[in-house]
Amino acid sequence: MSTKLIVGNWKLNGGLSANQALLDGLRDGLGAVRCRAAVCVPHPYLAQVQLLLAGSPIVLGAQDVSAHTAGAYTGEVSASMLRDFGVRYCIVGHSERRQYHGESDELVALKAKQALAHGITPIVCVGESLAQREAGQTEAVVKRQLAAVIHENGHCISEIVVAYEPIWAVGTGITASPEQAQQVHAVLRAQIKAATAHAERVAILYGGSMNAANASDLLAQPDVDGGLIGGAALKAADFLTILRAASR
C-alpha cells in the first residue's frame, strides 16, 4: 500500500461551530498533502460535514453502523442511511464499542458485511488489552478478531481497512513503539495474505495515540499504512502535521 491513509476519529466530540472551524482550518492548510484522508464524525453531523467537505480531498466517514438492514432497531443507523450522506468509510469494532457496548467479534464481522454490501469501506479495529499483552496473547487476540471478519466476508476481505489499536494505548497518551506496532502489523499482514490474493489492497492503520510528535516514526515502518487518529484529529494543526508526515 504505497499511498498512506489517515483517518480522524472524532469520537463523542463536535458541534456545529466547532466542526466548521476545524474543517475550515484543515482545508486551508492541506496544500501539498498527497496522502488519502478521511474524518469519521458523529452521526448527527454527517449532513453538515458532507457539505463542508464538498470539493475537498478529505472524505467522509462514520463511527459505527448497524448489523441490520432495516427494522425495529431503535437508535440504530443502517449502512444505506450512511450511504445517503456520501459516507465512504465506517469504523467497526472500535475498542470502545467492544468494551462499553459488549460488541463481539461476530457482531463486528456482521457490521463489516453491511458496510461492504453498501459500498462503504469498513475500518475493522483489532487490539489487545494490557493484561493480554503482558500475558503474551497479543498475536492470538488480534488474529482471532480479524479471523471472524475474514470468515464472514470471504472474498470481499480485500476491500476492508484494518486498524491495529492496542487498547492500552487508546486515549491514554501511551503509544506502542514503532517496533511494537510493526511487529503486530506484520502478523496482520501475513494473516491477510493467507486470506486473499489481493492483500496489497488492504491498508493496515495504527490506531493507538498516534500524534503530531510520533507520526513520522510510526509511519516509517514497512507495514504501517497510515493511522486512525483520535485526539489529534480534533486540532487542525496537529492533524495537518500527521497528513504531511504521511505524504513523504
What one-character DSSP code corresponds to residue 13? -
Choosing from 94, 96, 103, 159, the catalytic residue is 94
Size of the chain in residues: 248
Alpha-carbon gap, residue 29 to 175, rounded angstroms: 26
Active site residue 94: yes
Residue written as grid cell 493496515: 204
Q: Binding site for substrate, residues? A: 9-11, 171, 209, 230-231
- Amino acid at residue number 169: A
Active site residue 165: yes
Alpha-carbon gap, residue 45 to 41, rounded angstroms: 7
- Amino acid at residue number 213: A
Number of H helices, E strands in the chain: 10, 8
Choosing from 96, 159, 165, 185, the catalytic residue is 165
Alpha-carbon gap, residue 84 to 50, rounded angstroms: 10
Which of 248, 8, 207 has its CA nearest to residue 96? 207
The residues that are catalytic are 94, 165
